[in-house]
Amino acid sequence: MVKKQKNNENSSKLLARAAEVWNERALGFITEMNLQIERSALDGVQLRMPYNPEFCVDEEGTMLHGGILTALLDSAFGLANFLAIEDLESMATIDLRVEYLGPAQSRADILVFAECYRQTRHVAFNSGRIWFDTNGQPEVARAMGTFSVTRGTNSLLDKLNTMGPGQ
Amino acid sequence: MTLDKLRAQCDRVPFFRFLGFEITDVDDDCIHARMEQSARHVGNPVLKAYHGGITASFMEAIASTAVSHNWEILRPKPINLTVDYLRPALVGTLFVRADISKKGRRMSSIETVAWQKDPAKPVAKGLFHFLLV
């Protein structure tokens, strides 16, 4: 069984494994986004979402809909919290605020960085940013999120570990 | 724009087809829509609830459709958004209503509400700003 442990020399490997468990147990929309974990650490995660014309606003598939960026941030915040909060039992998004800094116009992969920059007993605070995997392009979005957190001994990680894929 | 014209315009947007909603009612300042849940909307592996990003995307889609409808803009430019998640959006149909709160010359502000069985018990509310120029 995978355990999240801080202050352990193996902690980065364990975190990577925990992130993979999270991704493997995904279903529905997260599967549609086809997220790949590029970095998984206590202080933040980086995910890659491959180009998908289904998420675009135009038939030519050159511009992503803003909603997909919001969805990506929501997912990335969830994973950042999952890794950063040791005794996480469950969480729910309280609110999200997203700023669209420019048109999301590219066929390149999308990258997202998300961090849980503060956690209290009941609340996790997140920030994130999104950019295309191309040289020199500015960020396309920034976001803040707030999550309601339930802590306890029935860890979400154990729950995911005992479930089959996509359950 | 008539309801049929608005629906035809929505049908030409790949991401709107991915979401699979239907505009049900339209007047000058308000648009209603509904969306049946499909497997690809699910975000929570435990509750089988809608992914928060799907609820937000649905609200943003209807908000931008309200802007398109009022200003005859094909693709309104979103500036920012705030989504307030009030209840879990569980298995079942999701309804969204978008109201135009500000009709500026350069800017518009749209308020949305999403609910399931009871409009008095919203699952989420949204506030969206769009650039009109």
Domain range A11-161, CATH architecture: Roll (3.10)
pLDDT value of position B56: 97
Q: Is the dihedral of CA A19, A129, A32, B84 positive or negative?
A: positive
Of B14, B43, B84, the CB nearest to A28: B43
Among A25, A27, A29, the strongest candidate for a mutation testing the B interface, having the largest count of B CBs within 10 A, is A29
How far apart, in whole angstroms, are the C-alpha atoms of residue A150 and residue A158? 15
d(CA B82, CA B63): 12
The parts of chain A modelled with pLDDT lower than 50 are 1, 9, 166-167
Q: Is the CB of B74 inside 8 Å of chain A's CB atoms? A: no
φ, ψ at A125 (rounded to 5°): -110, 130
> Could you read off the pLDDT tens digit of each residue along chain B, which spans 133 residues?
789 999 999 999 999 999 999 999 999 889 999 999 999 999 876 778 999 999 999 999 999 999 999 988 888 999 999 999 999 999 999 999 999 999 899 999 999 999 999 999 999 999 999 999 8
Q: What is the domain partition of chain A in residue ranges?
A: 11-161
Query: Number of Cβ pairs closer than 8 Å across A and B?
Result: 120
- Is B87 in the A-facing interface, judged by CB distances under 8 Å? no
A55, A58, A100: residue with CB nearest B79: A100
Beta-carbon separation of B57 and A71 below 8 A: yes
Domain boundaries, chain B: 3-131
Q: How far is CA A72 from CA A66, A79, A145, A164, in A?
A: 10, 11, 12, 24
Does ipTM surpass 0.85 in this model?
Answer: yes
Residue A47 is predicted with a pLDDT of 95
Q: What is the pLDDT of residue A164?
A: 53
Helix (H, G, I), strand (E, B) or coil at A120: coil
- Per-residue confidence (pLDDT) for residue A159, from 0 to 100: 76
- Among A75, A17, A87, A68, which residue's Cα sits nearest to residue A46? A75
Mutation target to probe the B interface, by most B beta carbons within 10 A, among A65, A75, A129, A147 is A65
Superfamily of domain B3-131, CATH level 4: Hotdog Thioesterase (3.10.129.10)
Residue B6: which H helix or E strand, with range?
helix B3-11
